[in-house]
Chains A and B, each alone.
Chain A
Amino acid sequence: MLRKLANLKVAAVCLGLVALTGCTGKKPEVANPNAQAKPGTERDFTLNVGDRIHFIVDQSTLTPQATDTLRKQAAWLRQYPNVTIQVEGHADERGTREYNISLSARRATTARQFLVSQGVNPSRLSTIAYGKERPIALCDAENCWNQNRRAVTVITGGAIPG
């Protein structure tokens, strides 16, 4: 009986995860105007600005949607000049390892260059390239791979606590 209960608990936790993330490890990507987050915090950046952009297959050019997100990121970063960031570049799993490392570096660089062009001081921005090593969506279909081809702006310091 106890064992059964324990199983139930696990199942409930799993369900909760599904509801939150859509079961694929998908994180919120678009700004949610209703979200409550203290301005200047990491949560504020992730929820109200959007921390990631996506790329089409084998490309590092910015889509209109990506440009829009990066503009918001730049505005936020200008508003909080103490914040430092690292742009993580990622590739999907349908490429070879060395090339994907390079391709993800290209994506991170493109995002970084855009932020700099929008007035963010380059000394605040570093990049790192993860290739296909850190997928967030786990299936063998395009609707996962397109989430994994991404550049994520990660705050490394200077945000308001909270």
Chain B
Amino acid sequence: MPFGRVVIVFLLMVFGQSFSAQALEIDVTQGRVKPLPIALPNFIGGGGGAAQKYSHDITGIIGNDLQSSGLFQPLPQNSYVEKITNFSRQPRFSDWRIIQAQALVTGRVVMQPNGRIRAEFRLWDIYGQKQITGLQFVATKRNWRRIGHLIADAIYKSLTGEDGYFDTRVVYIAESGPKNKRVKKLTIMDQDGFNVRALTDGRSLVLTPRFSPTSQEITYMSYAGGKPRVYLFNLQTGQREVVGVFPNMSFSPRFGPRGRKVVMSLQQGGNSNIYSLDLQTRGVRQLTNTQAINTAPSYSPDGKNIVFESDREGQQQIYVMSSNGTGARRISFGKGRYSTPVWSPRGDLIAFTKQSRGGFSIGVMRPDGSGERILTSGYHNEGPTWAPNGRVLMFFRESRGARGGPKLYSVDITGYNERKIKTRGFASDPAWSPLLK
């Protein structure tokens, strides 16, 4: 299924701006942020009928996205004093100050004669008494949820100064059946759990999907035909192909930062070493060469380095090497074993799984190994993946016992705002997409 584009137009700031010394902004660098009270009345449905329904539903998506970030507190609609009936008029700021809103979002949804949906919104600074931004989006009906996510991203960016992550998808492994006969399907959903779609039928065991940072492509491992190997899956065409044929198992793939390379592990007897494969030339390059398990490679966003795990010193630890394989140095020195390192898209942090004292934690550290922080701990947390803005991680958490299984969770890099992602059954190995285009 191709992902239709959404057309975006900036709305002119038609109202006089009173420049206040301090712009309304959320400081996301602090640990625990007090959520910003934001008013979000239902968008006006121009033309009645379908527009009415879309306007309410899109408002709901925006509110849910903003709330889920932990940075916003959408105020209850029944507390609003002013009723917004005209999208083109400036709101009565004093009415919104009464309910202590600091920001207000007004919007309108219109069904176009060509069947497309046009949605526009304005974001207002209540105390600064001015419009902060205004945008218009046009999309096909099939893409209507994306309009909500795009508006939420625009609000997030305006008020935090950082890119949003709501107009994204997550590919993961949906799990069903008993633990000793698990059926695993490559599955994709919107970041908020909607539009779930299975990409494989469950006949072959599939593991560790990873999104391309530049295209609608996934790399993953499949046991199809009894041969565990790395594959590519094109979401636009539904086509899948093996990434290179090697004498033994290939596994643990991940795209390079420009989407043109896949880095992965190849098994050689009892050892595994890391190789990169150029997707255009299909040229293969060996990057590690030790009698050990070298796996879970992840490029730095500038492509210059690769972080990976290795038991070359006897136990799983995290190492960084240059992307040509030279200069490997260990960066994890805490008490325990470290694995599944993933470089943040911002480059500033590496997320990992840590095993210590019988438990599994998710944490982050700087690329030089300093500043380790554990974000969540427990019986079994594993496999972090970064939201494209590098502020939120998703991972899976296994529950104990014969009937236990994994569920997806997200957590802010501050360690706050941990949330369970709703999936129908068990789910593991999440991988966040880049912002959609």
Q: Do A and B bind each other?
A: yes
- Residues of A at the B interface (CB closer than 8 Å) are 25, 60, 93-99, 101-103, 105-106, 109-110, 113, 128-131, 133-136, 138-140
CB pair A136–B340 under 8 Å, yes or no, is: no
B236-255 to A contact mask, C-beta < 8 Å, 1/0: 00000000000011011000
Question: Given A96-B382, A140-B401, does the pair A129, B249 have CB atoms closer than 8 Å?
Answer: yes
Shortest distance in angstroms between B336's beta carbon and chain A's nearest beta carbon?
12
A110 contact set on B, CB distance < 8 A: 270
CB pair B293–A134 under 8 Å, yes or no, is: no
CB pair B402–A102 under 8 Å, yes or no, is: no
Shortest Cβ distance from A106 into B: residue: B270
CB pair B228–A98 under 8 Å, yes or no, is: no
Shortest Cβ distance from A86 into B: residue: B226
Partner of B180, one of A95, A102, A105, A138: A138
Shortest distance in angstroms between A128's beta carbon and chain B's nearest beta carbon?
7
Shortest distance in angstroms between B228's beta carbon and chain A's nearest beta carbon?
7
| Interchain residue pairs with CB less than 8 A apart (8) | A97-B207, A98-B295, A98-B296, A98-B340, A102-B295, A105-B267, A106-B270, A109-B270
CB pair B270–A97 under 8 Å, yes or no, is: no
Question: Given A25-B180, A129-B228, A133-B205, does the pair A106, B293 have CB atoms closer than 8 Å?
Answer: yes
Question: Given A60-B270, A134-B180, A135-B180, does the pair A98, B265 have CB atoms closer than 8 Å?
Answer: yes
State whether the Cβ of B191 lies closer than 8 Å to any Cβ in chain A.
no
Question: Given A60-B270, A96-B382, A128-B228, does the pair A101, B179 have CB atoms closer than 8 Å?
Answer: no
B: number of interface residues (CB 8 Å):
41
State whether the Cβ of B187 lies closer than 8 Å to any Cβ in chain A.
no
A136 contact set on B, CB distance < 8 A: 180
Q: Which of A113, A128, A136 has most B Cβ within 10 Å?
A: A128
User: What CA separation (Å) do A25 and B251 show in the bound complex?
Assistant: 28
Shortest Cβ distance from B311 into A: residue: A99
- Residues of B at the A interface (CB closer than 8 Å) are 178-180, 182, 184, 205, 207-208, 226, 228, 248-249, 251-252, 265, 267, 269-272, 293, 295-296, 309, 311, 316, 339-340, 353, 355, 360, 379-380, 382-383, 398, 400-402, 404, 429
CB pair B251–A138 under 8 Å, yes or no, is: no
Partner of A139, one of B252, B295, B360, B402: B402
B180 contact set on A, CB distance < 8 A: 25, 134-136, 138
Q: Which of A110, A113, A131 has most B Cβ within 10 Å?
A: A131
A99-B293, A134-B180 given. 19 additional CB < 8 A pairs? A94-B355, A95-B355, A97-B207, A97-B383, A98-B252, A102-B267, A102-B272, A105-B248, A105-B270, A105-B272, A109-B269, A109-B270, A113-B269, A138-B178, A138-B179, A138-B180, A139-B401, A140-B401, A140-B404
Interface pairs A-B: 3 shortest CB-CB = A138-B402, A106-B270, A140-B400
User: What CA separation (Å) do A9 and B334 show in the bound complex?
Assistant: 55
User: What CA separation (Å) do A60 and B291 show in the bound complex?
Assistant: 14
Question: Given A97-B208, A99-B316, A138-B179, does the pair A105, B249 have CB atoms closer than 8 Å?
Answer: yes
User: What CA separation (Å) do A139 and B295 show in the bound complex?
Assistant: 28
CB pair A133–B402 under 8 Å, yes or no, is: no
User: What CA separation (Å) do A131 and B178 show in the bound complex?
Assistant: 17
CB pair A96–B383 under 8 Å, yes or no, is: yes
A94 contact set on B, CB distance < 8 A: 355, 380
Question: Given A105-B270, A139-B401, A140-B401, does the pair A133, B252 have CB atoms closer than 8 Å?
Answer: no
Shortest Cβ distance from B398 into A: residue: A93
User: What CA separation (Å) do A25 and B178 show in the bound complex?
Assistant: 12
CB pair A128–B226 under 8 Å, yes or no, is: yes
User: What CA separation (Å) do A110 and B178 show in the bound complex?
Assistant: 30
User: What CA separation (Å) do A95 and B208 show in the bound complex?
Assistant: 15
Partner of A98, one of B251, B270, B355: B251
Shortest Cβ distance from A126 into B: residue: B226
User: What CA separation (Å) do A25 and B316 show in the bound complex?
Assistant: 30
A93 contact set on B, CB distance < 8 A: 380, 398
User: What CA separation (Å) do A75 and B401 show in the bound complex?
Assistant: 38
Shortest distance in angstroms between B316's beta carbon and chain A's nearest beta carbon?
6
Q: Which of A97, A109, A138 has most B Cβ within 10 Å?
A: A97
User: What CA separation (Å) do A123 and B180 show in the bound complex?
Assistant: 30
CB pair B401–A96 under 8 Å, yes or no, is: no
Q: Which of A25, A101, A131, A135 has most B Cβ within 10 Å?
A: A101
Partner of A133, one of B178, B182, B226: B182
CB pair A96–B402 under 8 Å, yes or no, is: no
User: What CA separation (Å) do A158 and B319 show in the bound complex?
Assistant: 46
A98 contact set on B, CB distance < 8 A: 208, 251-252, 265, 295-296, 309, 339-340
User: What CA separation (Å) do A134 and B226 show in the bound complex?
Assistant: 14
Q: Which of A95, A96, A135 has most B Cβ within 10 Å?
A: A96
A133 contact set on B, CB distance < 8 A: 182, 184, 205, 207
